[in-house]
Structure 1
């Protein structure tokens, strides 16, 4: 087989592979680039891992809310601490919640989960709430200084 024949056979194989590869919408390609998700692991185990990471992110966010909005407001007057003590705790918990949220979001996209866009919208709302909480906590620290 000559080099020209090998080249044309390779081109035919690559074009048939390209035809089999699913084309992704522009929004999908943008989100995959934004989240730095290169490959797809569409397996049952990957999907279960995505769900587990989502549950962990939601648990951490819930714990942050309980501490920030229930435990600290009750404990601060009882213990006699100022509100400036609660702000660094809130900032730390918010940062942890953002990291776990991004991790779970990447896992959803990596597993090509059928509800990845719904979860993306949900986590975007969570990030907006966390951003508001961070701004509030940072302004509490700045005002207290």
Structure 2
């Protein structure tokens, strides 16, 4: 099975943003066993974060972030990759394994419904809760007309 690029990007993003303990628990509950070989041992390095002022200005380097990457190959040759912010090597390898499994037609539907969709819903809930927290403390500034400017 070959998933289109946007679909694969989506599940890789969901996996990378998932909470390590939650992903491990959900994957263990599925009782999926897969033999795989580690192609690239999980390794940690730095990446430079770029930003744009207001989202549209010139790019500038905002700082560095720690990134861990890994690659695995299933016994049938399917490759799985992952890049995760942070230093959790076990989580990164687990994400690479799931990426490889998601590319197989026999696992795609099951993993999409029982792993990716719930993890995505949890992430959206965390984002909404954070947004509500930020909006509660939002301050709107406005300019009043002064008497000498009227």
Give TM-score, length-normalised by structure 2: 0.26
Q: Which has the larger radius of gyration?
A: 1
Higher relative contact order (CA 8 A, sep 6+): 1
Give TM-score, length-normalised by structure 1: 0.27
The structure whose residues are more often helix, as a share, is: 1
